[in-house]
Amino acid sequence: MKKNILALLTVISILTIFVGCSSDTNKTQSNENSNSKSGTLTMYTNAEFAPFEYFEGEKVVGVDADIAEIIAASAGKEL
């Protein structure tokens, strides 16, 4: 009985690994296409944690905002 349960768990584990490693190329391509249509990236944040992000007037500044600007610039988009 214990061998049957162990064999079943082994088969389930192997199947889970294969399913997790499979790729869905159609989904990836549609995401790339939808992102390339827009010339901007939107950053959502809770700007209450200085020095990571905080408000200076109406603008969000800080480390996270700087990182987001670098990512947007490297992608050729506006933030």
Q: What is the pLDDT of residue 67?
A: 93
Calculate the alpha carbon distances from 59 to 27, 31, 44, 63 in Å: 35, 29, 13, 13
Q: What is the pLDDT of residues 31-68, one digit of tens each?
A: 554 555 678 888 898 989 888 999 999 999 999 999 99
Q: What is the mean pLDDT of the chain?
A: 83
Query: Which stretches of the chain are DSSP H helices?
Result: 2-21, 25-37, 63-74
pTM metric for this prediction = 0.51
